[in-house]
Each structure stands twice: as C-alpha cells, then as structure tokens.
Amino acid sequence: MIVIPAIDIKQGRCVRLLQGRMDAETVFSDNPAAMALQWEGLGAQRLHVVDLDGAISKEPVHFGVVRAILEAVSLPIQIGGGIRDMETIARYVDAGVDRVIIGTEAIRNPALVREAARRYPGRIVIGIDARNGKVAIEGWTHTTQTSAIDLAKSFEDCGIAAIHFTDIHRDGMQTGPNIEETRKLAEAVSIPIIASGGVSTIQDIENLLPLEAFGVVGVITGKALYTGTLDLRDAIRLTANRPSGS
C-alpha cells in the first residue's frame, strides 16, 4: 500500500475542504507546485491532484497549475476535476499526467470511461465519491441513487487502472477512514482500490493495512499532512516495512 499526498487546487491555491464544501476551505499554500516538491522530497511515490474549480465548472480551470506541478517534480501525477470529454483526457495525458480520474462522467457517460480505458490502458481511474453509500457527482453537489458498489461492478471488465473511493462524510474531517465501506467495495470487485477520506493519524494508516488483502493498494491523505497530525515519512515507513502477505 502506498501513501499518496493530495493537492487540491482552488483559485490557484492549495486548499483542503470539509466534506467537499467549497465554502469550507482552509488555504495551506499559495504555491501548489512548491507543495508537490515538498511531498516528493519527503518520499512520496505519487501525487493526487484535484482541480476543485474544474469540478464545479465542468471543465479544467487550473491546467497551468497542473503543468507547473508536472515541471516541478518527477513523480507520477494523477489528476481529477472537470474531466468530461476525451479531448480533456488527451490534453492531460499529452502534458505528462500519468493517470486521469473520471468521476461524474462514470455515471453520466460510462461509454467515455470505456473508450478512454481502451485508448489509454492503465491510465484511467474512476473516482467514486459516496455519501451514505450512494455516488455523488458534479463536485459532490448532487447525490445519485446509484450505489458505489454497483457503479464499480459496471466497470469490472474494461481495464481501468484503479478506483478511488472517498467517503464524503469523512473527507477533511480527520475522523478516520470508513474501513467497513472500503472493505466492502474492495471485496466486490477485482479492480485495485485507493482509499480516501478521514485519514488523521498513523493509526488510521495502520487500520487500513489489513485491507491490502482485499485489493486496497493505496491511501490518499491531505489535511492530516498539512496540519501535521500525520507525518508522511512515518506513514511511508509503516507501509514499506509491512511484511509481504501480512
């Protein structure tokens, strides 16, 4: 399991939100590229970047900021937020983004996901953000009647790289990840799962480690790293030292 620092971009700055609410932000840096460089220096193996304004605007807003991050670090970058068509996916891939995360369109236009996975094998990720088990879309502003598990199962055979699963009620709250719902999703599909939402301390990382056996391959964390309740080096050391098969 790898630990993936999150860089959420709003109005060009690195922020964290509470439960995805755009009016409940904390600004941690005016320079997202500098934050990316900091996480790389501390040993991160991958970075999770989200264009929050893009998610609301339904198209990328901070492509220039993403490009600056790509130029600053040599780590693989995954990007989400406002990705609604093949042209946007191609633009990010051509710019050097390693993985592109599709959220809303996995519900609205599943054919796009399948075509993107065919065109860019191993580089398409589905972002499943759930509120009480139901998928939320449009920057978390609308909750559908589709369950997270049903949506994940519908893409079982199309070759996507991973599913990012976020429990919205936990996101930014530092109340601990939703272990049970993450485990249920991982058990339901063969697609690798990356957990997100609620990580606060090294104990939360410890609690997630047993889910490796069910296919949870990573965990995204943001606010805990920025506020200092979780040390990235400690978290990486914990996951790296875990005995194989345990």
Q: How far is Cα 32 from Cα 101, in angstroms, rounded to an integer?
A: 19
Out of 53, 129, 171, 204, the active site residue is 129
Indicate if 8 belongs to the active site: yes
Out of 8, 53, 98, 171, the active site residue is 8
Structural tokens at position 198: 């609620």
| Terminal-to-terminal C-alpha distance of the chain | 12
- Closest by CA to 149, choosing from 117, 183, 195, is 183
Structural tokens at position 81: 């937020």
Q: From start to end of 112-172, where are the E strands?
A: 124-131, 134-137, 142-147, 162-167
DSSP label at residue 1: -
226 and 199 Cβ atoms separated by less than 8 Å: no
Indicate if 23 belongs to the active site: no
Catalytic annotation, residues: 8, 129
